[in-house]
Amino acid sequence: MSASQSIHLPAVDRVLVWPAVAALTDVHGRTLLLAAVRDELAMHRGSGRAVTDDDLVDGIEKRVLTNVTPSLRRVFNLTGTVLHTNLGRAPLPPEAIEAMVQVASGASNLEYDLVTGKRGDRDDHVENWLRRLTGAEAATVVNNNAAAVLLVLNTLSQRKEVIVSRGELIEIGGAFRLPAIMARAGCKLREVGTTNRTHTRDYAEAIGPKSALLLKAHTSNYRIEGFTSAPDERELAALAGTNGLPFVVDLGSGTLIDLARFGLPHEPTPAETLANGADLVTFSGDKLLGGPQAGIIVGRADLVAMIKKNPMKRAMRCDKLTIAALGAVLKLYGNPERVMQSVPAIRLLARGEDEIEALARRLRPVVAAWLGQHASVDIASVQSQIGSGSLPVDLLPSFALRITAPGAKRSSGKTLDRIASAFRALPVPVIGRISDGAFLLDLRCLEDEAGFAAGFRLPVSL
Ligand SMILES: *Cc1c(COP(=O)(O)O)cnc(C)c1O
């Protein structure tokens, strides 16, 4: 007799009528429960080990829960990287969430002009705000900044040359490589200058009958230091202008306010870049702007009109939820004095060290009690970073809960992996970072203190 025949397992139909299983069926439906019961029984039949009815019910319940828990869900980003691409970049303000709820629940005037009763343009809902905030003549939005760059290049320089400095042939997050985007846009890359130094005359010498435009990419995720030189934006704009070529700047982050206000180095804004003579500027919606994922193109009205007519625009257009959220966030910038409070991404970046330290003092005992004898928790001064390639070398002083094996100054990678995985298994997963022999929870981005503390009511399993 084989092992599989030696254990007695109940029939599927019998298990389905057990009260605990029937209760689950009432909530989640027969299809899901039937699959869970079958899979659970099959697993035990395969293992050949005896199993109690209670264990079967537990296993079935776990399977159902795994199936109904959404794959994409909220986590606590305590990595210390504020705009973390893998964790969804910028958190949205309540105004943007409410705007999305309004248009998500029913019909909206997405492409419908309520005054004339005729067809409208979805860009209309954000274009006025973008013009006001950047000083641009016109604006359009697409799915993300990578799409914005692709669309601009494809519209203005297909089968022609785009002149760009060697020092700006950037890769962002592996997936966005400027030379690859250019190839797909159908234009030819004309590199000028050297990695560390490029002068206006290098661009001037490269201009010829095949030139389509001059491109400047903001090298947002790295910095070349030492003997470097990049041409002045005004000089490049003037050079492009005298040759009848558009000057396009990919700004990347595109903050709408001066970051120097909260002690960060100045990042060029779209308004300044346009004032320097750029004909088009592209930037992301979910980096320093603090809005939804989007690619924003602002600049000369004639160029924006050409871009809007490109059939590729149709393939890259934003959906109504994005437009609703972006419109609401842009409106918050209408009151710049309040942006540090009203836009969560900016609020987190500007958050004071003292406030974060006080939070660490309140939460240390909560986390320490949960970990019990499994680990030690102390408070460490750390440095957060902005993320998404913005100001990569500029760090923000912050505080973290520093977790190690009990009493240890530093712990092994294996121990830290186990601790990190216990935090990821919390009801709202907590994502920290491992650094210098410890598991760190940088508290800069923790605003829902009560929600965070509530997760530690369950016993730890390490
Ligand atoms: C981030 C970035 C991009 C890509 O933007 P997404 O919105 O992530 O598509 C392109 N160019 C620069 C300079 C960037 O910093």
Q: What is the mean pLDDT of the chain?
A: 93
Q: Domain 94-342, what architecture? A: 3-Layer(aba) Sandwich (3.40)
Residue 340: Cβ within 10 Å count: 15
At 240, the pLDDT band (50, 70, 90 cuts) reads very high
Contacting residues for 308 by C-beta, under 8 A, at least 6 apart? 121, 123, 140
**Quick one: pLDDT at residue 1?**
40
Q: What pLDDT is recorded for position 220?
A: 64
- To test ligand 1's pocket by mutation, which of 86, 172, 222 has the most ligand atoms within 8 angstroms of CB? 172
Q: Which atom of ligand 1 is nearest to the CA of 295?
A: 7
- Tokens (6 digits) for 83: 């705009």
> 199: CA distance to ligand 1 center in Å?
24
φ, ψ at 445 (rounded to 5°): -95, 10
Q: Average pLDDT in the 195-208 region?
A: 92
- How many angstroms separate the alpha carbon of residue 146 from the centre of ligand 1? 6
Q: Is the pLDDT of residue 175 over 90?
A: no
- Which atom of ligand 1 is nearest the CA belonging to 219? 13
Q: What is the pLDDT of residue 258?
A: 87
Cα 143 to ligand 1 centroid, rounded to whole Å:
11
CA trace torsion 252, 256, 260, 263 (10° rounding): -80
Which residue owns the Cα nearest ligand 1 atom 14? 252
pLDDT of residue 221: 60
CA pseudo-torsion sign 351, 353, 358, 359:
positive
What is the Å distance from ligand 1's center to 374 Cα?
A: 42
Residue 18's identity, in one-letter code, is W
Q: In this structure, are residues 267 and 259 in contact, taking their beta carbons and an 8 Å threshold?
A: yes
Residues with CB under 6 A from ligand 1: 144-146, 149, 172, 176, 217-218, 220, 250, 252-253, 284, 295, 388-389
pLDDT at 421 over 70: yes
Contacts 24+ apart (CB under 8 A), 372-378: 372/460, 373/406, 374/406, 374/419, 374/460, 374/462, 375/403, 375/404, 375/405, 375/406, 375/419, 375/462, 376/403, 376/404, 376/405, 376/406, 376/407, 376/408, 377/401, 377/402, 377/403, 378/402
Report which protein residue has its CA nearest ligand 1's atom 8.
145
Which pLDDT band holds residue 133 (cuts at 50, 70, 90)?
Answer: very high
Q: pTM for this structure?
A: 0.93
Q: Whose CA is nearest to atom 1 of ligand 1?
A: 252
> Considering only the top CATH level, what class is 76-85+348-454?
alpha beta
User: What are the boundaries of each domain within the chain?
Assistant: 12-68, 76-85+348-454, 94-342
